[in-house]
Chains A and B, each alone.
Chain A
Amino acid sequence: MQQFVTAILVITVGGLLAWLTGRLKSLSVVIGTGSCVGGGLLALIPATEILMSGGQAAEIVLNLPLGAATMKLDAVSAFFSLPVIVLGSLAAVYAAATSHYDKHECGGYWFFYCLLMASMLFLTASANAVLFLMAWEIMSVAAFFLIIHRDEIASARNAAWRFLVASHVGTAGLFIMFAIISAHCGSFEFACFTRTPVSAETASLVFFLALFGFGVKVGLLPLHVWMPDSYAFADAHVSAVLSGAMSKMGFYGLIRVLMFLPVHSASWGWALAFGGLLTGVFALITALAQHDLKKVIAYSSMENAGIIMMGLGCAILAGIWKVPALAFAALTGSLLHVLNHAACKGLLFLGSGAAYFGTGTRKLEAMGGLAKTMPYTAMFFGIGAAAISGLPPFNSFISEFMIFLAGLQAARLGTSSALLLAGVILAGLGLIGGLAMATFSRTFGLVFLGASRSDKKVEPRESDWLVRLPMAILVLVIFLLALLSPFILIPVARVASMIAAASGVTFTPENAMLNIQPVMIAATISFFFMLFVVLVWRLRSRFFSGGDVNDRCTWDCGFAAPDARIQYTSSSFSQPVSEVFSSIVRPYRHGEKVAGFFPERASFRTDAPDSLLRYLYVPLFGLIDRAMVPLRALQHGRLHLYICYLAIVLLALLIWKVVAA
Chain B
Amino acid sequence: MNSIATLLALSCIFLLGSSRLLMSIRMVAFQGLLLGILPLAAAGDSHLSLALIFLSLASIALKSILLPWLLNKAMVDSGTRREIEPFISFGASMLLGLFLLAVSGWIVDKLQATEPVPSPVTLIAGFYLVFSGLLLLITRRKALTQTLGFLVLENGVFTAGLSLGSEFSVMVELGILLDVFVGIFLMGIMLFHIDREFDHLDADRFNELSDLEIAASPDEEVTE
Which A residues are closer than 8 A to B by beta carbons? 635-641, 643-644, 646-647, 650-651, 654-655, 658-659, 661
Contacts and interface: CB of A to CB of B under 8 A. Distances in A.
The 7 closest A-B pairs by CB, nearest first: A647-B134, A637-B207, A658-B110, A644-B138, A643-B137, A637-B212, A661-B114
A525 B131 CA distance: 82
A640 B204 contact: yes
A303 B47 CA distance: 76
Interface in B94-144: 103, 107, 110-111, 113-114, 131, 134-135, 137-139, 141
20 contacts: A635-B212, A637-B212, A638-B204, A638-B207, A639-B203, A639-B206, A640-B137, A640-B141, A640-B203, A643-B134, A643-B138, A646-B134, A647-B131, A647-B135, A647-B137, A650-B134, A651-B131, A655-B103, A659-B110, A661-B114
Contacts of B212: 635, 637
A654 B210 contact: no
Given A647-B138, A651-B131, A640 B87 contact: yes
Contacts of A654: 107
Nearest to A639: B203
A640 B210 contact: no
Nearest to B111: A658
A37 to B, nearest CB: 42
Contacts of A635: 212
Given A635-B212, A640-B204, A647-B134, 9 more contacts: A637-B212, A639-B207, A644-B138, A647-B137, A654-B107, A655-B103, A655-B107, A661-B111, A661-B113
B183 to A, nearest CB: 15
A637 B110 contact: no
A639 B214 contact: no
Given A659-B110, A661-B114, A636 B214 contact: yes
Contacts of A637: 207, 210, 212, 214
Contacts of B135: 647
Contacts of A640: 87, 137-139, 141, 203-204
Contacts of A644: 138
Contacts of B103: 651, 655
Interface of B: 87, 103, 107, 110-111, 113-114, 131, 134-135, 137-139, 141, 203-204, 206-207, 210, 212, 214
Nearest to B143: A639
Contacts of A655: 103, 107
A484 B137 CA distance: 71
A318 B212 CA distance: 55
Contacts of A639: 203-204, 206-207
Nearest to A650: B134
A650 B137 CA distance: 14
A651 B96 CA distance: 14
A466 B187 CA distance: 53
Contacts of B137: 640, 643, 647
Contacts of A647: 131, 134-135, 137-138
B145 to A, nearest CB: 11
A661 to B, nearest CB: 5
A643 to B, nearest CB: 5
A242 B155 CA distance: 52
B121 to A, nearest CB: 18
A625 B205 CA distance: 27
Interface of A is mostly: helix
A641 B139 CA distance: 9
Interface of B is mostly: helix
Nearest to B138: A644
A637 B216 CA distance: 10
Contacts of A651: 103, 131
A637 B206 CA distance: 9
Nearest to A641: B138
A654 B160 CA distance: 14
Contacts of B110: 658-659, 661
A636 B216 CA distance: 10
Contacts of B138: 640-641, 643-644, 647
B213 to A, nearest CB: 9
B188 to A, nearest CB: 18
A639 to B, nearest CB: 5
Most chain A C-beta atoms within 10 Å of own C-beta, residue among B135, B138, B206:
B138
B207 to A, nearest CB: 4
Nearest to A658: B110
A650 B206 CA distance: 25
B75 to A, nearest CB: 20
Nearest to B215: A636
B214 A658 contact: no
A657 to B, nearest CB: 9
Nearest to A645: B138
B59 to A, nearest CB: 25
B149 to A, nearest CB: 9
Nearest to A632: B212
B219 to A, nearest CB: 15
A8 to B, nearest CB: 34
Contacts of A641: 138
Contacts of B111: 658, 661
Most chain B C-beta atoms within 10 Å of own C-beta, residue among A639, A641, A644:
A639
A625 to B, nearest CB: 15
Contacts of A636: 214
Contacts of B203: 639-640
A312 to B, nearest CB: 45
Contacts of B134: 643, 646-647, 650
B201 to A, nearest CB: 13
Nearest to B86: A640
A652 to B, nearest CB: 11
A637 to B, nearest CB: 4
B60 to A, nearest CB: 28
A632 to B, nearest CB: 9
Contacts of A643: 134, 137-138
A638 B212 CA distance: 11
A644 B146 CA distance: 13
Contacts of A659: 110
Nearest to A654: B107
Nearest to B137: A643
A658 B114 CA distance: 9
A251 to B, nearest CB: 39
B147 to A, nearest CB: 13
A639 B135 CA distance: 13
A635 B203 CA distance: 16
Contacts of B206: 639
A324 B134 CA distance: 67
A276 to B, nearest CB: 43
B98 to A, nearest CB: 16
Nearest to B213: A637
A647 B131 CA distance: 8
A658 B207 contact: no
Nearest to A642: B138
A651 B25 CA distance: 26
Nearest to A659: B110
Contacts of B204: 638-640
A444 B99 CA distance: 78
Nearest to A644: B138
A459 B210 CA distance: 48
Contacts of B139: 640
A659 B106 CA distance: 10
A635 B103 CA distance: 29
A643 B212 CA distance: 18
Nearest to A646: B134
A644 to B, nearest CB: 5
Contacts of B210: 637
A643 B141 CA distance: 13
Nearest to B207: A637
Most chain A C-beta atoms within 10 Å of own C-beta, residue among B113, B134, B141:
B134
A644 B138 CA distance: 6
A661 B114 CA distance: 7
Nearest to A655: B107
